[in-house]
Amino acid sequence: MSFVKVENITFRFAKGLPAVIDELSFTMVQGEIVGILGPSGSGKSTLLRLLAGLEIPERGEITIDGRLIVDERTFVEPEQRCVGMVFQDYALFPNMTVAQNIMFGLHKLNRSLRQEKMEQMLELLHMTDYAKRYPHELSGGQQQRVALARALAPQPSILLMDEPFSSLDANLKATIRSELRHILQKTNITCLLVSHDPADIDAICDRVLKVSARH
């Protein structure tokens, strides 16, 4: 049974413009790591934004974990979707420590559970010694790991990653790739990872979904 179901999704930025996403359908099983590969401008980020609820499709429907999140009559708000996101530019809060960044999405938990969850995440990502540091005191790779910890901490149904390695140098990228695959498998999270580099997808994903430029 499908854990994620995207059916005939069509999206355009304005009436009269060509569709950025045109009748796209695919499914994912739980725990699957799927890569989205396509050239710049092919709508990869837009697809993730549709799943996260940051854009609304013109047509089609999306179901995650048996719950309809969008169709012609339904729109579940982004914060109600249990979707975790990691972007290319980390987007950590610069004035918060690593620990505070990770706990940010855990406001629904009480203080001790929040602390416990944060410590678990630090351990998973081998960042325990960095809890009190600020983002500017970390390397790019470490910042990316914290961004991943922050996205995973609330235990989202699905993790969306948009070009997560594009700010990393080639050496670091190789290390992070294998580490990421390991972490995703360990948490058994369902994940969509966007990249324009086939090597990223090869190293991390179970399967690839190709999107092409259409204009």
Q: Which residues bind Mg ion (CB under 5 A)?
A: 44-45
User: In this complex, which beta carbon is closest to ligand ADP, that of residue 14 or of residue 170?
Assistant: 14
Contact between 89 and ligand ADP per CB under 6 A: no
Contact between 45 and ligand ADP per CB under 6 A: yes
With CB under 6 A, what is the number of residues at the site for ligand ADP?
A: 10
Identify what 40 binds: Mg ion, ligand ADP, none; CB under 5 to 8 Å per kind: ligand ADP
Helix axis angle for 170-187 and 111-124, nearest 10°, is 130
Contact between 20 and ligand ADP per CB under 6 A: yes
Contact between 40 and ligand ADP per CB under 6 A: yes
Cβ neighbours around 114 below 10 Å, total: 19
Distances, alpha carbon 143 to alpha carbons 94, 172, 209, in Å: 11, 12, 28
| Three-state secondary structure call for residue 108 | coil
Stretch of 37-45, 63-71, 130-138, 173-181 contacting ligand ADP, by CB under 6 A: 37-45
Q: How far is the CB of 44 from Mg ion (least distance, A)?
A: 5
Distances, alpha carbon 206 to alpha carbons 6, 28, 35, 124, in Å: 18, 11, 8, 21
Displacement of CA 147 from its chain's centroid (Å): 10
Q: How far is the CB of 196 from Mg ion (least distance, A)?
A: 8
User: In this complex, which beta carbon is closest to ligand ADP, that of residue 44 or of residue 114?
Assistant: 44
Judge contact between 45 and 194, C-beta under 8 A: yes
Length of the chain: 215
Site residues (CB under 6 A) for ligand ADP?
13, 20, 38, 40-46
